[in-house]
Amino acid sequence: MNYEYGTTLYGSLVRLEPLSLQHMPDLLQAAQHESLWRYMFYGNLAEPHYMQAFIVSALQLKAAGSDMPFAVIEVNTGRAIGSTRFRDICMKHLKLEIGGTWYAPDYHRTGVNLECKYLLLRYAFESLGMLRVQFKTDVRNQASRQSLEKLGASLEGILRRSAVMPDGVIRDTAVYSILDTEWGELEGRLRERLQVSRTPVNTFHSLGVLESKLLPNYINPITWSIML
């Protein structure tokens, strides 16, 4: 897998495009709410030098082949509203982690996270051929844990005293996963949830001109494309 190729995934609410320094102004605006960073390893990214270091580090990990970082772009405005990524990519054992995810607070509980996770999971299992997708979260982060469980991820265990957070708290980490053998059934359930999101289905029609090179027969209201 050549991670230098620019992979963009398209949905109705958002598209996930390769993260770059061009996204920095929008991301700085999205990052201003302090509560975003309570459970994140990065610390508070609301200052320009911290955001720049975050993006540069992500691009370095991409160049090393371990990560695929994305900017989350709101379709209606074209603005970056957050970030997510594939991390710890292991093609030898066909596994990776979805993490480093954050969105501006205005987009919490709007369907954005569900759509992002759907796009990432489908790409991981159906294009990269992964056997396993993993998620990690702070055990204190009940909102994240509930979201993962509702997504259909299975709790595998707790890594006790696994990390020191920027505020000095010693973190226990909850580990969740979804397997390729579970994806078929899970994909259908997620698609149903997307169908009943608050955005009307006819908003998807504006994406009809996009070419889906991966899944030409994919007819439910999310389209994606690989931009080489």
The CATH code of the domain that includes 70 is 3.40.630.30
Starting at the edge strand found earlier in the chain, the sheet holding 132-138 runs 154-164, 170-179, 132-138, 95-103, 80-90, 68-74, 14-18, 7-10, 225-226
Reduce the DSSP state of residue 84 to 3 states and report it.
strand
Structural domain count, the chain = 1
Distance CA 80, CA 25 (A): 9
Let me know if residue 67 belongs to a domain: yes
Report yes or no on 200 lying in a domain: yes
Contacts of 82 (CB under 8 A, 6+ apart): 27, 30, 71, 72, 101, 102, 103, 104, 107, 112
The boundaries of the domain holding residue 55 are: 7-130+183-226
- Residue 71's DSSP bridge partners are 17, 83
Residue 41 pLDDT: 85
Task: Identify the helix (H) or strand (E) that includes residue 29.
Answer: helix 24-30
Measured distance between the N- and C-terminal CA atoms of the chain, rounded to whole angstroms: 13
Q: Is 67 exposed, middle or buried (0-12, 13-18, 19+ CB in 10 A)?
A: buried
Position 11 in a domain: yes
Domain-embedded: residue 1: no
Q: What is the pTM of this model?
A: 0.85
How far, CA to CA in Å, does 156 sit from each of 27, 31, 122?
A: 32, 31, 21
Q: Over its length of 228 residues, how does the chain's per-residue pLDDT go in tens digits? A: 444 457 999 999 999 999 999 999 999 999 999 888 888 888 889 999 999 999 999 999 999 999 999 999 999 999 999 999 999 999 999 999 999 999 999 999 889 999 999 999 999 999 999 999 999 999 999 999 999 999 999 999 999 999 999 999 999 999 999 999 999 999 999 999 998 764 443 333 333 333 333 333 333 433 333 332
Q: Which amino acid is at 56?
A: V
In a domain, 162, yes or no: no
- Per DSSP, 106 falls in state G
Decide if 174 is inside a domain.
no
- What distance in Å separates the CA atoms of residue 85 and residue 24, rounded to the nearest whole number? 16
